[in-house]
Amino acid sequence: PYLDGRPLEEDVLRTKFPRTWNYLVTHRSRLEARKTVKTKGVAWWRPAWPREPQNLLRPKIITPHLVISPRFALDAVGRLAVSHSPIVFAKSQDVEQDHLKFILAVLNSSACFWYISQHSHSYQRGYSRLEAKTLGSTRIPNPLRVDPVVLRRLVRLIDERLEAAGVKTFSIESEIDEIVADLYALTAAERRLVGMKDNT
């Protein structure tokens, strides 16, 4: 709903994009019935929760809304435009790739995902609904306070995991899990609680 980085107005949408406008008009009754239109004053034709253009097609971490296990993935070049599911992107684009890989490692870890699943809406068969609010309140170790050697190792492991397939993925994920558990300073008992395998 943006043109040159600015939100479209109804008259511009009608005149410059008549096919889109006609499509919206054919679905007007359904669009007007949306909760955001009735309670939040969103114009009937406007998307309820539009993504800001500057954040839509940039490198980010994406995940489905409903998950049974960690399913965070890296969109390294900003190829995917996500409209409904939560997304995570780095505040600074100067260190974007390394910070995203660090956050990806943490979010996909047993320790972090255990916390996320405990604070998300639960559904049948163990599914959790991930919301931006839940992810926003999830505590992540500060990458600026992580030993640079450990940080580089974690980023390198993520690179390996992105390229790996088959059985090799399990050993890489296990090593990432251990590093992240160390960053959270988890005890052996806490590691078992979050579902990590005992490697002793």
Q: Would you state the pLDDT for residue 6?
A: 84
101 has pLDDT over 90: yes
Average pLDDT, the chain: 88
Let me know the angle formed at the C-alpha of 80 by 90 and 180, rounded to the nearest 5 degrees.
40
Share of the chain above pLDDT 70, in %: 96
Is residue 82 within 8 A of residue 51, CB to CB? The reply is yes
| Cα–Cα distance for residue pair 72/134, rounded to 1 Å | 14
| Mean pLDDT score, 97-119 | 90
Q: Would you state the pLDDT for residue 15?
A: 94
Look at residue 2 and give its three-state secondary structure: strand
Q: Which residue has the higher pLDDT, 95 or 96?
A: 96
In sequence order, what are the residues at sequence separation of 6 or more whose Cβ sits closer than 8 angstroms to the Cβ of residue 60?
A: 75, 78, 82, 87, 88, 89, 100
